[in-house]
């Protein structure tokens, strides 16, 4: 009978070790899911608060030296980093060598609610084009224009 009691103790101890390992693995996965959900919620909140509007006249694009000048207003409720803004013309990414971004009146890299971003793009040929400005949160606005 003592042999049966000893084997029960061994099985009980082994089952406790296995249960502890399962609980440890599950808690790590639950924490990972919670962190991912929290991160997604923060990103969604930023996206909801972000909005921009290209306010340039598509029929009258100003020239500044070799640059065409466009104006984009931050119509959302969140500050944006102009270093995280991407610009596309006709679906092609505009590289830093052909692009100058400047917040009007401040010159800062933070683009606040209600402020206007001046977008200077070099190398746009005459004809019909499409401008797309994309924020750090993936929110964008598009404008068709002709030069």
Burial of 132 per CB tally in 10 Å (0-12, 13-18, 19+)? middle
Please report which confidence band the pLDDT of residue 114 belongs to, taking 50, 70 and 90 as the band edges.
very high
pLDDT digits (tens, 9 = 90+) for 95-106: 999 999 999 999
Question: φ and ψ at 56, to 5 degrees?
Answer: -70, 150
Report the alpha-carbon distance of residue 106 to residue 34 in Å, rounded.
40
Mean pLDDT for the chain overall = 87
Tokens of 72: 């984009």
What one-character-per-residue DSSP string does 30-93 give? Answer: HHHHHHHHHHHHHHHHHHHH--EEE-S-TT---EETTEEEEEEEE-SSS-EEGGG-EEEETTEE
**Per-residue pLDDT tens for 3-50?**
666 777 777 777 778 877 777 777 666 666 666 666 566 666 666 778
Among 61, 63, 64, 47, which residue's Cα sits nearest to residue 130?
A: 61
Q: What is the pTM of this model?
A: 0.71
Angle at Cα 112 formed by Cα 83 and Cα 60, nearest 5°? 80
């Amino acid at each position: 009978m003592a042999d049966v009691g000893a084997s029960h103790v061994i099985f009980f101890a082994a089952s406790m070790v296995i249960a502890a390992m399962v609980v440890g693995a599950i808690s790590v996965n639950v924490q990972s899911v919670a962190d991912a959900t929290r991160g997604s919620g923060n990103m969604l909140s930023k996206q909801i608060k972000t909005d921009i509007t290209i306010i340039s006249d598509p029929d009258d694009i100003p020239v500044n030296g070799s640059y065409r000048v466009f104006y984009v207003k931050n119509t959302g409720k969140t500050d944006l980093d102009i270093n995280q803004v991407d610009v596309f013309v006709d679906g092609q990414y505009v590289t830093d060598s052909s692009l100058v971004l400047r917040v009007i009146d401040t010159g800062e890299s933070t683009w606040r609610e209600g402020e206007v971003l001046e977008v200077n793009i070099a190398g746009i040929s005459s004809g019909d084009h499409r401008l797309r400005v994309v924020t750090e949160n993936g929110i964008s606005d598009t404008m068709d224009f002709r030069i």
